[in-house]
Amino acid sequence: DTAVSQTPKYLVTQMGNDKSIKCEQNLGHDTMYWYKQDSKKFLKIMFSYNNKELIINETVPNRFSPKSPDKAHLNLHINSLELGDSAVYFCASSQYRATDTQYFGPGTRLTVL
Amino acid sequence: AQSVTQPDIHITVSEGASLELRCNYSYGATPYLFWYVQSPGQGLQLLLKYFSGDTLVQGIKGFEAEFKRSQSSFNLRKPSVHWSDAAEYFCAVGNRGNMLTFGGGTRLMVKP
């Protein structure tokens, strides 16, 4: 059973397009996250949702809009894609306790041409 | 603000040799510390974590880490490295808001 799944695994698109990445977790967690990993492997949090409510929103362009239809899903929509958006995007989930482990999905590699 | 430094970008060790990956953190309160491993093309998997108690923490795959408050360090160790340990290793510090801040990672290569 896949704990945290993301679709698609690879996404290649042109500058200016709009795209979405979906994330689902079957761990029963109440908190989900989006991270961005750049080409140098640097990993940074973008957003976090707890019980469908936004709790972390780092300095991310407003072209990025997360949506959480329920506790098990957190989707990421990106408008007007730019070259600099090329990265690997990871979804993660955990219980809302600082000591709790965050479980990561396999990642979505986004390439903007 | 919290931050993590992993001073070694690349480390190469021979199979069977011991390993130590360095991690230094900056955080105003008692830190929650994590080590994750990322194999090529994969997501991150937790190796171990520290949030209180014994400062020597045991993890999966034979890894351990020691929290040293005086040195603001949380170094990862393994007594004998296997070829399958070749991967990227990330140290992270967490706060009470569940926000993880990662270090830049250390790529481990294992020589046969």
What is the token pair recorded at A15? 């500058």
Per-residue pLDDT tens digits for B20-63 = 999 999 987 778 999 999 998 888 999 999 988 889 999 999 99
Which residues are CB-neighbours of A53 under 8 A, at least 6 positions away? none
**Residue A30 buriedness (CB in 10 A; 0-12 / 13-18 / 19+):** middle
Per-residue pLDDT tens digits for A5-35 = 999 999 999 999 999 999 999 999 999 999 9
Chain B neighbors of A103, CB-CB under 8 A: 46
The residue among B36, B100, B102 with the most chain A CBs within 10 A of its CB, best to mutate, is B100
H, E, C per residue of chain A? CCCEEEECCEEEECCCCCEEEEEEECCCCCEEEEEEECCCCCEEEEEEEECCEEEEECCCCCCEEEEEEECCEEEEEECCCCHHHCEEEEEEEECCCCCCCCEECCCEEEEEC
pLDDT score at B25: 95
Helix (H/G/I), strand (E/B), else coil: B84? helix
The residue among A25, A30, A43, A74 with the most chain B CBs within 10 A of its CB, best to mutate, is A43
Q: Which residues of A touch B (CB under 8 A)?
A: 4, 31, 40-45, 48, 50, 55-56, 90, 92, 94, 96-107
CA angle B49, B50, B53 (to 5 degrees): 145
Chain center to CA of A34: 3
Note whether B46 contacts A101, CB cutoff 8 Å: yes
Tell me the pLDDT of chain B averaged across its residues: 93
Which residues are CB-neighbours of B16 under 8 A, at least 6 positions away? B80, B81
- Does the pLDDT at position B10 exceed 80? yes
Q: What percent of chain B has pLDDT over 90?
A: 79
Note whether A44 contacts B102, CB cutoff 8 Å: yes
Per-residue pLDDT tens digits for A58-95 = 878 999 999 999 999 999 999 999 999 999 999 999 99
> pLDDT band at A1, cuts 50/70/90?
low
| pLDDT, mean of residues B78-89 | 97
CA distance A72 to A95: 12
Residue in B43, B46, B107 nearest the CB of A107: B43
